[in-house]
Amino acid sequence: MSNAISRRIEDLERLTPPLTAQPDIDEYWDRTLKQFATKPLNAKRTLVETPFTYMEVYKVEFEGFDATPIFGWYLLPKFRSEGKLPCVVLYHGYTGSKGYPEDYASYLMMGMAVFAIDVRGQAGETGNLLAQDFGTTKGWVTQGILHRDTCYYKAITIDAIKALDWASQQPEVDNSRICASGGSQGGGLAMIAAALSDKPAIAVPHIPNMCHMDFGIINSSSSLSEAASFVERFPEHLSTVIETLSYYDNMNLAHRIRIPIFVTVGLKDPVTMPETIYAAYNRVESEKTIVPYPFSGHVVTGDHNRKALEFIAKHFRIE
């Protein structure tokens, strides 16, 4: 039966706007990944006491893009059986943090390890030593936005990749069963990690940001509006800003994703709009699933999470 909702989804499934990628995008990322592959994590994990009898909690500190100490929670179920565990690496939404260990109890109940990190400079314990040589508008997105090598997106992308590296090295983790996951900003990081890192076996980007960012800078009501404000103040830098963002746009990097990926999208989302998410998703060539929610805005609901956990359980053979 055809109706406005089904037609809307059909239109989105056919959406393939022109790529904004620069000709050297793959060369750039191959070189960048090689450069950071040997950068030491300088990591440590410290056991933390909590009131949760069946949860083993560690505070983790590691280095990603630069010398900024990135903080995270590393969680293990105390009731685990013998053998190594699948692990989910989690990135939070814009202005958020790694939260509290108990926020991730559902993964522990599945018998999984969890590594949830702060995104630098936002509302967690993690600071930001990224150099700044030009003014910014409110928030974090416009820091260093005039060049691909100085911008905030590069720092948080490398931080996200290094978090996967750290998780893969833990003695309790089965490094063939690592999932990159997150919502909104975290979904964008999970998706770009799926494109650039060889550590995750699957990825779950919920309502991902960092997709079709040239459309987002015009239309989004959240983080990319900061980039729009920057260009409003400095209109002569519009083309430079669009070029910088293009190197971190999942639409331009989707062809590099080679793992199964599970994506959610809200058709009434004014932040990570469906046009942006489908523009990236439609260019993914690996096994993929997208679940549209016609009446959801910018939210990850219980149903989003349940379907994602079912996807993880299936691919990681969790029974």
Catalytic residues: 184, 269, 298
Q: How far apart are the first and last CA of the chain?
A: 36
DSSP line for 13-35: HT--PPP---TTHHHHHHHHHHH
CA–CA separation, 37 and 64 (whole Å)? 10
8 is written with which tokens?
A: 């809307």
3-class state of residue 117 by DSSP: strand
Residue recorded with tokens 């056991």: 47
CA–CA separation, 94 and 88 (whole Å)? 19
- Contact between 92 and 185 (Cβ < 8 Å): yes
Could you tell me whether strands 173-183 and 85-91 are parallel, antiparallel, or unpaired per DSSP bridges? Answer: parallel
Binding residues for substrate: 94
CA–CA separation, 279 and 264 (whole Å)? 13
* Phi then psi dihedrals of residue 29, to 5 deg: -75, -35
- Contact between 231 and 240 (Cβ < 8 Å): no
105 is written with which tokens?
A: 């109890």
Radius of gyration of the chain (CA): 19
